[in-house]
């Protein structure tokens, strides 16, 4: 692979990023960083009817949440002069031609081909129009759209995921490159940008694989060498459908709202489909060093959010106090300290749950009383101080001896009274943080 690599992520600002989009963005970024190259954010906003600024803002926020930073942001809506110049070059070489069919006429053509058992592709009928017919169509108010004239030859390329691909002559119809309103299609503008920006590797979803042969011919018609292509199999949702904006859910916005750790999302998406499980140790450096596009399988991978949530919790448990302190401040826990974090982090599924544990450890709760006799005995035996885990252990051992209670019979009533919860940190670690006064009050059933 070339030492100098330039990749791009090309979202359309027509909705929020879902996991499939994020996976493409992350792998493009990793590939560029692995080779000390450049990663570009190219916004495909050539459709003014569907593109919205608020979606572009959301896309940038989501990428930053994943800790992705791009080297340059390019907006296709501001590059129409470049596309017009490239189009003029192809027109001068006879590689584009005007067409006048309406959408209804094209739909009828496809139906007729299907009825005859033919593949649905454009039959180049517009190329048979005479100059006189072109003038008459123009006088009638018809405005042309334009197609790229494919050469009738095999197109072969090596996909970095799917391997050798060969598209026989006649398998594709001439693609539309310019719309009736004068705007340029994604398929054409993307090629022009890839040439102008020096893109060396195009990593995208498998749904674009059918575009590749036609785009290769456009690259060549513009006198440019095509980049290397890698098409990743699509991700499937729980119902087995490809992830898509129109289905809703599974967006990065939703994952953020659930409190998932972005580092976990990155690692999980990068490992998905490689046969290797993501772990909490998978940071950017490790993922970058391990990246190998050939490891990705050719079958779609199903999204398992439960697996991602488990990984997210494991990542959270490994974070240091210094790493989470700014986020704890955002949660309103400006007074949280390393001792508090060390105590509770292993019991959190999401960082937001730290607020509840702050209330338990440093605030006031309503005790849950399930064994009044035991709790009265325990409250009467609370020493003047429990300063460290060893003192807490001695006190718990003394309760065992005095009450004859052990295991769950002893610890469950104590935990419910002291925390209001069935599960939590080890009691010998929790007790010093609560302090003797708060322990005694809660064991006596008082709010404290």
Residues of the chain with CATH 3.90.800.10: 93-154+165-178
Mean pLDDT across 30-39: 96
**What is the spatial order of strands in the sheet that 72-75 belongs to?**
6-9, 38-43, 72-75
Ranking 166-170, 240-244, 307-311, 363-367 by mean pLDDT, the lowest is 240-244
Quick: pLDDT tens for 394-434.
Answer: 999 999 999 989 899 999 999 999 999 999 999 999 999 99
Give me the DSSP letters along 218-258: HHHHTT----EEEEEPPEE-TTSPBP-GGG---BHHHHHHT
145-148 vs 72-75, strand pairing mode: unpaired
Residues of the chain with CATH 3.40.50.620: 6-81+186-235
Asked if residue 159 lies in contact with residue 229, where contact means CB atoms within 8 angstroms, the answer is yes
pLDDT of residue 73: 97
Mean pLDDT along residues 129-147: 91
pLDDT at 241: 80
**In which band, very low, low, confident or very high, does the pLDDT at 244 lie, cut at 50, 70 and 90?**
low
249 Cβ contact list (under 8 Å, min separation 6): 237
Which residues in the chain are classed under CATH 1.10.10.350? Answer: 372-443
Task: Evaluate whether the domain defined by 372-443 bears CATH number 1.10.10.350.
Answer: yes
pTM of the model: 0.90
Mean pLDDT of 42-66: 93
* pLDDT tens digits for range 52-63: 999 999 999 999
8 Å CB contact between 224 and 198: no
CA distances from 415 to 220, 393, 411, 445 (A): 72, 14, 6, 13
Report residue 249's pLDDT band, with 50, 70 and 90 as the boundaries: low
Q: What is the pLDDT of residue 120?
A: 87
pLDDT value, residue 14: 93
pLDDT tens across 82-98, in order? Answer: 999 999 999 999 999 99
The predicted structure's pLDDT at residue 245? 57
Rounded CA separation 366/417 (Å):
8
Mean pLDDT confidence for 160-175: 93
Q: Enumerate the CATH 1.10.1160 domain ranges in the chain, comma separated.
A: 245-317
Give the pLDDT of residue 228.
Answer: 97
Q: What is the CA radius of gyration of the chain?
A: 31
The answer, yes or no, to whether residue 48 has pLDDT greater than 90, is no
Euclidean distance between CA atoms 235 and 242, whole angstroms: 6
At 311-368, the pLDDT tens digits run 999 999 999 999 999 999 999 999 999 999 999 999 999 999 999 999 999 999 999 9
Domain range 245-317, CATH architecture:
Orthogonal Bundle (1.10)
pLDDT > 70: what percent of the chain? 98
CA distance 413 to 421: 10
**CATH number for region 93-154+165-178:** 3.90.800.10
Fold (CATH) for 6-81+186-235: Rossmann fold (3.40.50)
Q: Where are the beta strands (DSSP E) in 5-107?
A: 6-9, 38-43, 72-75, 96-99
The Cα–Cα gap between 171 and 241 comes to 27
- pLDDT above 60 for 81: yes
Report yes or no: 96 and 90 within 8 Å, Cβ to Cβ.
yes
pLDDT at 246 over 60: no
Mean pLDDT (whole number) for 216-236: 96
pLDDT of residue 2: 46
DSSP states along 105-168: HHHHHHHHHHHTT-------GGGG--HHHHHHHHHTT---EEEE---SS-EEEEETTTEEEEE-
């Amino acid at each position: 692979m070339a030492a100098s690599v330039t990749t791009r992520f090309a979202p359309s600002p027509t909705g929020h990023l879902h996991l499939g989009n994020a996976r493409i963005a992350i792998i493009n970024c990793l590939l560029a960083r692995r080779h000390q190259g450049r990663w570009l954010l190219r916004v495909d906003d050539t459709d003014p009817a569907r593109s919205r600024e608020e979606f572009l803002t959301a896309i940038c926020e989501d990428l930053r949440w994943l800790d992705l930073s791009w080297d340059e942001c390019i907006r296709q809506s501001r590059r129409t002069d470049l596309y017009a110049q490239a189009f003029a070059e192809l027109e001068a070489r006879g590689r584009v031609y005007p067409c006048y069919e309406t959408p209804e006429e094209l739909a009828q053509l496809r139906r007729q081909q299907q009825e005859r058992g033919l593949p649905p592709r454009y039959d180049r009928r517009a190329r048979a129009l005479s100059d006189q017919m072109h003038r008459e169509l123009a006088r009638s108010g018809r405005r042309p759209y334009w197609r790229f004239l494919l050469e009738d030859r095999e197109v072969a390329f090596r996909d970095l995921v799917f391997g050798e691909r060969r598209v026989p002559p006649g398998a594709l119809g001439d693609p539309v490159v310019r719309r009736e309103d004068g705007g340029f299609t994604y398929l054409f503008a993307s090629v022009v940008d890839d040439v102008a920006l020096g893109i060396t590797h195009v990593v995208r979803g498998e749904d674009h694989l059918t575009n590749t042969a036609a785009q290769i011919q456009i690259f060549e018609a513009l006198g440019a060498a095509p980049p290397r292509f890698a098409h990743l199999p699509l991700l499937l949702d729980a119902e087995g459908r490809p992830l898509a904006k129109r289905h809703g859910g599974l967006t990065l916005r939703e994952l953020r709202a659930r409190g998932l750790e972005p580092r976990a999302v990155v690692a999980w998406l990068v490992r998905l489909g490689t046969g290797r499980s993501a772990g909490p140790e998978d940071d950017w450096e490790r993922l970058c060093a391990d990246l190998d596009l050939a490891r990705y399988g050719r079958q779609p991978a199903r999204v398992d959010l439960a697996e991602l949530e488990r990984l997210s919790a494991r990542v959270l448990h490994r974070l240091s106090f210094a790493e989470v302190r700014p986020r704890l401040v955002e949660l309103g826990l400006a007074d949280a300290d390393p001792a508090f974090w060390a105590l509770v982090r292993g019991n959190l599924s999401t960082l937001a749950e730290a607020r509840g544990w702050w209330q338990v450890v440093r605030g006031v709760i309503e005790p849950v009383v399930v064994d009044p006799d035991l709790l009265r005995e325990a409250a009467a035996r609370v020493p003047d101080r429990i300063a460290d885990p060893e003192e807490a252990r001695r006190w718990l051992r003394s309760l065992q001896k005095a009450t004859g209670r052990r295991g769950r019979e002893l610890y469950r009533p104590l935990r419910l009274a002291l925390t209001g919860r069935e599960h939590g940190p080890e009691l010998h670690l929790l007790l010093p943080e609560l302090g003797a006064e708060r322990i005694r009050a809660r064991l006596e059933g008082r709010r404290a």
